[in-house]
Chain A
């Protein structure tokens, strides 16, 4: 006996029937309905024709594209392989040279800072503070030398030159003896 089924149900089953996943009971009901119902039969035929059209329509030949696509693929692989080395060096195996250099620079800076801070204790002053000023005799000698040069007493008059210097020296010695008393 033929089961009664609506057109909506049959049309809902058509896709599953086309894909072979409709159970046998429903499949029999559907085929019987298609014999009896012209509307559903036309719908089924249109669905089948659409699928046949899809399968029959061909694409242009792809063999020429195969050559160019594979060439592009090889080039991409080669390019990326070349790029890999520097990237890996940064991310994976790090060189020891860079950290060692940084550590050396940091140590040098630290040592320089320490020396700067300890400088007053390690380095003696250039002259004792007590002798910071020259004696009167020394001042006289320097003033005399200045006078010699100002008076244009040059190498042409060596005797006078020696005399003036001896006089200045003796006056400085006398001054120091007086200071020592």
Chain B
């Protein structure tokens, strides 16, 4: 991978300070970042991979963070572009190794999924054992672009303008993707949401 300096004009000592500051910001919004990563990927291993990659990418650009948006929103954006890059790379690899996989008779690697920690929330205790997997499956079935919008708008409850900034797409695109994403989810979760 081509090297890009983290902080061109910084000495090694101040780069250490920058890293500590960056990590402190990450720790503060860790829960939100983790939720987004898990919802985007659907399993712990891929969520950790996404976060590890996104943290490095974020640190490369950290000196350009102006504070005109929330740090967590800035990180959402980096995670989204990182995720799209990772999916593209994985698809290329998959296409390249398709013949080999078929001849070896091996299927796609099965990722393990954990039962969510429901804590002490009584509503969650009722809903989680049944539906966490189904909800995640329904999210996984969405196209990547729709999934990102649905997670940010419906789960993280960001408004259109914030989602637009995070994903670097027009507000109109956010709105249409959200509506179409909801329609697809509503269909795939129909048995749980229709009376």
> CB within 8 Å of B: which residues of A?
15-16, 19, 21, 42, 45-47, 49-51, 53-63, 65-66, 68-70, 72-74, 76-77, 80-81, 83-84, 87
C-alpha spacing A76/B39, complex, angstroms: 25
Asked if B44 is at the interface of the complex by the 8 Å CB criterion, the answer is: yes
Q: Is A50's CB under 8 angstroms from B185's CB?
A: yes
B124, A58: Cβ atoms closer than 8 Å: yes
Interface check B154, CB cutoff 8 A: yes
Q: How far is the CB of A39 from chain B (nearest CB, A)?
A: 12
A residues near B3, Cβ cutoff 8 Å: 80, 83-84, 87
Q: Are B193 and A65 in contact (CB under 8 A)?
A: no
- Give the distance to chain A from B174, nearest Cβ to Cβ, in Å: 10
Which one of B12, B30, B51, B195 lies within 8 Å of A42 (CB-CB)?
B195
- Give bound CA distance, A146 to B19, whole Å: 94
B27 in contact (CB, < 8 A): yes
Q: Which of B68-76, B93-101, B129-137 contacts A (4 or more CB under 8 A)?
A: B129-137
CB closest residue in chain B, given A65: B48
Q: Cβ of B192 and Cβ of A49 under 8 Å apart? A: yes
Partner of A62, one of B30, B128, B154, B160: B30
Of all chain A residues, which has the CB nearest B56?
A76
**Complex CA–CA separation, A77 to B6 (angstroms):** 9
B48–A68 contact, CB under 8 A?
yes
Q: How far, in Å, is B129 (CB) from chain A's closest CB?
A: 11
